[in-house]
Amino acid sequence: MRRRTGRESGILGNPILIGALTVLATIVAVTLAYQANNGLPFVPRYTLYLQMRNASEVTRNAEVHMGGVLVGTVTKVTPQRDAAGTPIAVLTLKLNKDVQPLPVDSTFDVRLKGSIGLKYIDLTKGASSESYRDGATVPFSQARAEVDLDQVLSMFDPPTRRGIQGSTIGFSDALAGRGNDINSAIGAFVPLLRDLGPVASNLASRRTDLGGFFRGLEAFSGALAPVAQTQADLYANLDNTFRALAPVAVPYLQEWIQQTPPTFNAVIRDSPSEQAFLLDTAGLFKELRPGFATLNQSAPVLSDAFTVGARNLPGTKALNAQLLSLAQRLGRYAHTPAVNGGLDRLTSTLQSLRSPLAFLTPVQATCNYVSLFLRNTGSTVSERFGGNGTALTFDVITIDDVQGGEAVPSSKPNLHPDPGAPGYNQESGPLHVNPYPNTASPGQTRECAAGNEPYDGTSSLIGNPPGNLGTHTDKTTRPKR
């Protein structure tokens, strides 16, 4: 055998050095074991940042699996806020480089390792041609969380459990002694199940998109979650309302429900005859709209008037008694046969006047002819010619005795003036007359022709002139005192 040298025996024989090397190796092994979940040192990793509405109990060092194989870990869970200010969770994923590049349509599902236990992320690789670069952020749309068993079981709180127990007892009491009926019902269900086959096929079809329906239902439920307490308060208030209505449910509400179908039938039957009334009502409210617009100014004035009236009502007892006696006498008078006959004749007379009034109303309302006639008549009566009386009782009438003029008898109207006729006068023009002028009445052109006919002195004009003269007339005003 070869004898060890002094140097070799010195290194291997030094217990302090051997102990230090052993401690160093142990520290390195423990460090590597501790860091194994986060990846070994100096080993490159594929980093992604996964956005989630809720971390769903995913913690640091949670595993990331793809196809059942461990491909990475969650190294950090960071709370952040999105652009709208809503709190979110951002999970930092350290994945193996052989997973890179990951298509952008890949999905990340949070699942349980067992029935109840730690969570892990199940990565399903997509097929898109686009991929996430290292350090990219995965949006919310690619992250999902499964409903956990503990979340399902949390629904069965003590009140729910008591309710289920009561329902089970109630169902058992309802089914007791009805075995034959249940068997008959099961036999009757056979055709129903046979008909459900095509229905189930349609639901399973991709064109039906039943999954999209449930995703929409999930989004709808998520939108209702922030107002869940408001909805609960609504049902509590409805319970109070129905509890208040319970004492009058029978017979009042019951009779009201029984009368509802006949009422709807009567409305459907009478609606065509009520259309004219509804149209008139709509027109009335349209005309009242300017008055409603002034309620802000007129309401305080009316309120003060009502206040003063209410304060003065106690002192009008004698007047109220007289008004009551007058109303009673008017009531007896209204039931007199002679009065009813007179009212019928008056109604017939007003109905007969409806057409003439409809024709004459625009004469004043549009053309102001009645006011102009009264104004001109008053002016004629009031104007005086010295001490000889008014213009109505004293007027100078001059007749221009010109051949072809309209002031002397003629065998035909003067339609075309003849400058070569004996005694021709340039001031004697052709005939201008309009015996039935348009006054914007029904059936006529909407114009005020009387007094607005043009006169040029060179051609005749009989009747309404061509064209539309418009509705412009002189405006009358109240005289100042």
Give the pLDDT confidence score for residue 400 in this predicted structure. 61
User: Where are the chain's structural domains?
Assistant: 35-149, 336-397+431-481
Give the pLDDT confidence score for residue 189 in this predicted structure. 82
Q: Which amino acid is at 153?
A: L
Lowest mean pLDDT among 27-31, 143-147, 269-273: 27-31
Give the pLDDT confidence score for residue 385 in this predicted structure. 57
Mean local confidence (pLDDT), 343-366: 88
pLDDT digits (tens, 9 = 90+) for 355-370: 888 888 888 888 888 8
Residue 1's pLDDT band (boundaries 50, 70, 90)? very low
Lowest mean pLDDT among 146-150, 318-322, 346-350: 146-150
Lowest mean pLDDT among 31-35, 300-304, 363-367: 31-35
pLDDT digits (tens, 9 = 90+) for 103-118: 999 999 888 876 666 7
Residue 146 scores a pLDDT above 80 = no
Residue 395's pLDDT band (boundaries 50, 70, 90)? low
Give the pLDDT confidence score for residue 181 in this predicted structure. 83
pLDDT digits (tens, 9 = 90+) for 408-443: 666 667 766 666 655 455 556 677 888 889 888 888
Give the pLDDT confidence score for residue 311 in this predicted structure. 84
State percent of the chain over pLDDT 90.
Answer: 2
Mean local confidence (pLDDT), 293-305: 88
Residue 32 scores a pLDDT above 50 = yes
Lowest mean pLDDT among 8-17, 173-182, 195-204, 291-300: 8-17
Residue 11 scores a pLDDT above 60 = no
Q: Which residue has the higher pLDDT, 446 or 378?
A: 446
Lowest mean pLDDT among 30-34, 272-276, 440-444: 30-34
Residue 42's pLDDT band (boundaries 50, 70, 90)? low
pLDDT averaged over every residue in the chain: 80
Residue 383's pLDDT band (boundaries 50, 70, 90)? low
Name the most confidently modeled range: 23-27, 224-228, 281-285, 417-421: 281-285
Give the pLDDT confidence score for residue 43 in this predicted structure. 61
Whole-model pTM?
Answer: 0.32
- With helix as H, strand as E and coil as C, how does the chain read? CCCCCHHHHHHHCCHHHHHHHHHHHHHHHHHHHHCCCCCCCCCCCEEEEEEECCCCCCCCCCEEEECCEEEEEEEEEEEEECCCCCEEEEEEEEECHHHCCEECCCEEEEEECCCCCCEEEEEECCCCCCEECCCEEECHHHEEECCCHHHHHCCCCHHHHHHHHHHHHHHHHHHCCCHHHHHHHHHHHHHHHHHHHHHHHHHHCCCCCHHHHHHHHHHHHHHHHHHHHHHHHHHHHHHHHHHHHHHHHHHHHHHHHHHHHHHHHHHHHHHHHHHHHHHHHHHHHHHHHHHHHCHHHHHHHHHHHHHHHHHHHHHHHHHHHHHHHHHHHHHHHHCCHHHHHHHHHHHHHHHHHHHHHHHHHHHHHCCCHHHHHHHHHHHHHHCECCCCCECCCCCCCCCCCCCCCCCCCCCCCCCCCCCCCCCCCCCCCCCEECCCCCECCCCCCCCECCCCCCCCCCCCEECCCCCCCCCCCCCCCCCCC
